[in-house]
Amino acid sequence: MLRKIKEKLFLLGITIATVLTILPLFHIILSVILNGLPVLLERGLAFLTDTVAPPGDGLGGIGPAIVGTFVLTFLASLMGLPIAILTGIFSAEYPNSLIGRATKTLLMIMMEFPTILVGLFVMDIMVIPMGRYSAVAGALALAIVMMPYVAVYTEQALREIPRIYREGAFALGLSRAIVVFRILMGMARKGILTGVLIGIAKVAGETAPLLFTAGGSYRVYFAGLDRPIGAIPLLIYDLVQQPYENYHQIAWGASLVLMLIFLAIFLPIRLSIKEVKM
């Protein structure tokens, strides 16, 4: 009898745990839509192109922040992807060498590294010497955050290729560089592309690394690589802390935009593969 009661309680318990785990996601999505959609509907496309309204007066738009997010993500990819992919190749090609193993471990550690510290680091080496916040500083911080994800995915994609292809290619007398770049990279392209997109989805939503590097800019569109730049997550963070009601509304609208961008990148990747790491 007692066993049966325990059994029932157990099933009830894990059902409740599952519901509690998932429920917040729906609540968040619903809250963002309910609060953000009216803002988007009221302003229409102008919300995506206008600049932020003055405190307490209307909504304006988040154009500069959207441009900023795209510029920062693009620059970060430019800086981070080549290094990340080559690092991934290195740890896949030399898994048994000391450096290869150490690289793998370091990448795993850097994936879990607090991103605020990356921001602080870039502030110290770049923002202070340059004397101002800038798009390049923000992009560098994002590139450092992005690299470990892309490298780990690249490594896994290359490791999954059956040995026989590699041996076949070597048997043709091709050099190692040709084997890797011409043959293995081609076969692993889906896995590598997944890593690249995961990295992009990750940094497009990051706030902490940008706090003391990008500086934020919501009235001026792109002003130059060495000038402060905005980003959607940074804008939301700044506006939430303001006491003005209209700023909170803009923040919700921006959250909806950010959520849609994230889902547009993330969902197709997730639906096309079995497992993701973020």
Partner 1 sequence: MKDRFKIFLLPVSSIVFGIFLLMLTVFLIASLPIFEKEGLSIYTTNVWKAVEGGEEFYGVLSAIYGSVYTSVVALIIALPLSIGFAVFVIDYVPAKFKEILIILTDIMAGLPTILYGIWGAFVLVPILRDYVMKPLYDHLSFVPLFSYPPTTGYSYLSAGVLLAIMVTPFASAIIREAYRMIPRVYREGVYALGLTRYEATKVLVGYIKPAIVAGTLLAFGRAVGETVAVSLVVGNTFNIHPSLFAPGYTISSLIANQFGNAFIYRYMPSALFASGLALFVIGLIVNVLGLMVLRRWRYA
Site for partner 1 in 235-254 (CB under 8 A): 236-237, 240-241, 248, 251-252
Distance of closest approach, residue 121 Cβ to partner 1, in angstroms: 5
Q: How far is CA 72 from CA 63, 224, 262, in A?
A: 14, 12, 15
Distance of closest approach, residue 183 Cβ to partner 1, in angstroms: 14
Q: Which of residues 43-62 bind partner 1 (CB under 8 A)?
A: none
| Identity of the residue, 53 or 87, whose beta carbon is nearer to partner 1 in the bound complex | 87
Q: Which of residues 173-192 bind partner 1 (CB under 8 A)?
A: 175-177, 180
Assess 224 for contact with partner 1 (CB under 8 A). Answer: no
Helix (H, G, I), strand (E, B) or coil at 215: strand
Integer Cα distance of 42 and 131 in angstroms: 40
The DSSP bridge partners found for residue 60 are: 52
Assess 264 for contact with partner 1 (CB under 8 A). Answer: no
Assess 161 for contact with partner 1 (CB under 8 A). Answer: no
Integer Cα distance of 234 and 142 in angstroms: 13
Q: Which of residues 14-33 bind partner 1 (CB under 8 A)?
A: 14-18, 20-22, 24-25, 27-28, 31-32
Q: How far is CA 118 from CA 123, 127, 223, in A?
A: 9, 13, 24
Among 73, 76, 197, 206, binds partner 1 (CB under 8 A): 206
Distance of closest approach, residue 41 Cβ to partner 1, in angstroms: 19
161 touches 92 (CB < 8 A): no
Integer Cα distance of 105 and 82 in angstroms: 20
Structure token pair of residue 175: 């050099």
Q: Which of residues 72-101 bind partner 1 (CB under 8 A)?
A: 82-83, 86-87, 89-91, 93-94, 99
Integer Cα distance of 41 and 256 in angstroms: 12
Q: Which of residues 116-155 bind partner 1 (CB under 8 A)?
A: 116-118, 120-121, 123-125, 144, 147-148, 151
